[in-house]
Structures are given as structure tokens and as C-alpha cells.
Amino acid sequence: MIPAVATWQSLRLAAAGLTVAVVFGVSGVHARITNIQMASQTPASGGASFGSVGAYENIVGVAFGEIDPDDPLNAVITDIDLAPRNARGAVEYSMDFSIFKPVDTSKGNHTLLYSTSSTAAA
């Protein structure tokens, strides 16, 4: 069983990482994360320990967000004006994520490395 503290720490880390990825991954686009669903939290590399940092874990889930299709900065998104809108007038989206992090984050170097995809599935 995963302690509640570890789970919430992981969610905060996931939220921070996803926010950075969304904000900086696509130049000029304004978006916001509305929900994060954590699907699993498992030991990485079979629980092997790496130097003074120790073991890592893999957190997998889905992040949900929305974007304002009327914001001129979002006009760079192809066909955004044709996408369905929710009750707030925003276009909803989701993305899978996978985060590898030290189990004990105090032992890590506090650096976030990330990559984004510039393509979307139809």
C-alpha cells in the first residue's frame, strides 16, 4: 500500500511537470490542467538502487485540461475553431504521462527533464 503522503507528493510533482510541459511545450499556447488521474505508481528498474539517490518509481496517469479557443495566442493550433467546446466555452484535451522520480525526492537533484510531442492522435 502506498502511503497517502507519497501519493500526494507524487501528484504535486506530476502537476508541476505537466504544467511546465503544457506551458512551454507549445510556444504561445495558453492552457490549464483541470484534473490528474494517477493510474499506477510502481518501482522503476525492478526497485534497483542508484547511488546515493536510491530507488526510483514510475508514476503513470492521464492529465486533463482545457484551452480557450478564442484566445489569439491559441490560433496557432490547427482547426481549434472547429473543436467542440465544453460549458465554459473551452476545448478539452487529455494526455498520458509517465514520470520517473526518486522515491525519496529529498535525495534527488531537483531537476526536471521532460519531452513533449508535437503531434496529436485523431
Domain ranges of the chain: 4-107
pLDDT for 5 beyond 60: no
Taking the CA of residue 64 as centre, how many other CA atoms within 13 Å lie in the half-sphere pointing to its CB?
9
pLDDT tens digit sequence for 55-95:
999 999 999 999 999 999 888 888 999 999 999 999 999 98
pLDDT tens digit sequence for 21-49:
444 444 556 788 999 999 999 999 898 99
| Alpha carbon separation from 33 to 16, 72, 77, 93 (Å, rounded) | 10, 19, 17, 9
| Alpha carbon separation from 112 to 29, 39, 87, 100, 109 (Å, rounded) | 21, 21, 34, 10, 9
